[in-house]
Structure 1
Amino acid sequence: MDFSDVSLVALRVFREVAERGTFTAAAAALGYTQSAVSRQIASIERAAGTRLLERRREGVQLTPAGRLVLRNAAGVLDQIDATARDLAGMPVEGGTVRVGWFPSAGAMLLPSAIAALRRSHPGINLVSREGTTPALVRSLRAGTVDLALLAAAPPFRPPDSETPALELETLAERPLRVAVPANHPLAAADSVDVADLRGQRWIAGPSSDLMGVWPGLDERPEIAHTARDWLAKLHLVAAGAGITTISASLEAVAPPGVRILTVEGGPQELRRILLAHLPGPLPDHVTAAANALRAASRQP
């Protein structure tokens, strides 16, 4: 085993593959060909003397050796990037915190936390990016984000089975609700019976989990529109295009023409907002950002 000849390019490619989950996605993100990515991975595996990635139909998974290499590679690359910022004269007072967040967190929680952090710690630079839960978990493992806001639904299993387990903190637990057009027949009351959700036209996410449809309906739902963005879904509701589910935390940003209803007559559907990070103590600037996220999550 000899890592002396491993290039920084190979380390960056390895981290990108670990974060993106496939060679194809890593190649697209880096602007490389897939064969170039494969060559870099082959070079780092030769240096390691063992396989670092398990190739599967659904993508790649780190082997135990791969997790070890990734932890150390992330540290090396972070130091190189910090040196580059120093040489470029970029301000580093307070440090930079990288936060990943699930889509609807960008509507209220994240902006509130950023505003509060600017007031309390103006020297901290918070940068963020949106992602799905699997993508954000991979980013934490790859060391490309320091904190991640994750959405969780029952039965609230851990977001992955890798070791060491991520540190997870529940910031909020709120009921799932239904958003309907203000002129919809269901909008006459503040609540709706789950049986009355049968036969409705739904606005759902594009993924196979039908996010946006009330869970457990005993019918094949009619999907009228698909949209990734929660605010886009709510504007479609306002236009009378259908109904969708919504976390209670988004009620304050619902546009005019939308009614938010509680659902009765079935098991209560709860959704959690989790703050996740790798195990171990956090640097002071990351702790400050985490505290700002905690405070923002407690706002009504």
Structure 2
Amino acid sequence: MDFTDVSLVALRVFREVAERSTLTSAAAALGYTQSAVSRQIASLERAAGAPLLERRRDGVRLTAAGHIVLRRAVTVLDQIDATARELAGQPAEAGTVRLGWFASAGSVLLPRAIAALRRSHPAITVSTREGSTPALVRALRAGTLDLALLASMPPFRPFDTESPPLTVRTLSERSLRLAVPATHPLAAGDSVDIADLRGQRWIAGSSSGDEKLMGVWPGLDERPVIAHTARDWLAKLHLVAAGCGLTTVPASLAPAAPPGVRILSVHGGPEERRRLVLARLPRPLPEPAARLADALRTAAAELHTPA
């Protein structure tokens, strides 16, 4: 194997493919043709002397050799980017931090943490992107994200099986809640029994691809009636306010509930706990990313109240 002629372009293309899991989506993100992406991957595979991708009907998956090359590619590209920042004369605390977040984290926690960081360290720029948990984990592995806010539910397994394991820190752990219209009969108290949820109409997200059905109370012992589908949590809450149905919400979203929505606890059945975690690759964080991690931990602590 000979990597002496491998280009930075090829490494960046490979990283994009590893994150997006298809050549087509990587090409679209980079503004390349799919054939150009294929040529860059082929050049890397010739240099490695082994296949780096397993071609599948639903996309591509890294081989064992691919994982090794990805880890090294991420290190090289990070060093090149750090060199560019140093040559540009940026101070130690300047720079851009790339943060990924799952849907409900963007309504309350994320803007609060970014606003606090802007006040304390205005030289730091935060670039964010929303995504599903599997997509964000792939982006962390590919080195296109520095940090990711992820949601975890029992039995709280690792987010992937790759080595080394991601470094994760729990920012909060709270009970799942139920959002009901203020005019709904269930809104009379502060909690409901799970048996009262039978026969209700639900507002939920889709369950296609790597997304799970979100919005229906877990463990409901009947086939749920899905009245409306929406991925965005605030859209779900506004549909609840309009009397269109019920939905589940993380406790952290309670402050974002619009008028006309009651947030209730549910009794009966297993307790539904949800963790908000901050994940990253297991290596020292650059100063800007460490500052953002501190801001996220502080914001999560300020929002936390006993469940």
TM-score, with length taken from structure 2:
0.91
**SS at the partner of 1:119?**
helix
> 2:292 is matched with which residue?
289
Structure 1 residue 133 and structure 2 residue 133: aligned? yes
> Contact (CA 8 Å) 2:15, 2:74: kept in 1 or not?
yes
**1:34-72 Cα shifts (integer Å, max 9, x gaps):** 333222211211111111122234432222321221122
Deviation at 1:85, TM superposition (A): 5.8
Q: Aligned partners of 1:211, 1:98: CA distance in 2, in Å?
A: 26
1:107-159 Cα offsets, whole Å, 9 max, x none, are: 11111111121222222222211111111101110111111110011111111
Give me the identity figure in percent.
73
Determine the C-alpha separation between the residues in 2 that align with 1:292 and 1:3: 40
TM-score under structure 1 length normalisation? 0.94
Equivalent position of 1:163 in the other structure: 163
Tell me whether 1:38 sits opposite 2:41 in the alignment.
Answer: no
Q: CA deviation at 1:10?
A: 1.6
CA distance in structure 1 between the partners assigned to 2:233 and 2:121 by the alignment? 30
User: Counterparts of 1:6-25 in structure 2 under 5 Å?
Assistant: 6-25=6-25
Q: 1:280 aligned to 260, 283, 289, which one?
A: 283
Partner of 1:28: 28
Q: Is the 8 A contact 2:236 2:247 kept in 1?
A: yes
* Distance (Å, rounded) in 2 between the aligned partners of 1:223 and 1:30: 37
Matched positions, count: 299
Higher deviation after alignment, 149-158 or 35-44: 35-44
* CA distance 1:251–1:57, change in 2 (3 Å): same
User: What residue identity is the alignment partner of 1:157?
Assistant: R
Deviation at 1:212, TM superposition (A): 0.7
In the other structure, the counterpart of 2:172 is 172
Correspondences of 1:82-93 after superposition (within 5 Å): 82=82, 91=90, 93=92
Q: Deviations over 1:264-286 (max 9, x none)?
A: 11111011001111112222222
> In structure 2, how many angstroms separate the alpha carbons of the residues matched to 1:293 and 1:232?
24
Corresponding residue for residue 262 of structure 1:
265
Residues 179/90 of structure 1: CA separation in 2 closer, same or farther (3 Å cut): farther
In structure 1, distance between residues paired with 2:284 and 2:124: 18
Does the CA contact (< 8 Å) of 1:93 and 1:123 recur in 2? Answer: no
Q: Deviations over 1:190-217 (max 9, x none)?
A: 1111011111111111224211111111
Matched, 1:252 2:255: yes
Moved over 6 A (4+): none
- Measured after TM superposition, the shift of residue 25 of structure 1 is 1.9
User: Which residue number corresponds to residue 65 of structure 1?
Assistant: 65
Distance in 2, Cα, partners of 1:200 & 1:38? 50
Partner of 1:228: 231
Take 2:86 and 2:239, find their aligned partners in 1: how far apart are those partners? 46
C-alpha RMSD of the superposition: 1.8
Contact 1:93 1:124 in 2 (8 A): no
> SS state of the match for residue 15, structure 1?
helix
Tell me the secondary structure at the aligned position of residue 298 of structure 1: helix
Q: Which amino acid aligns with 1:179?
A: A
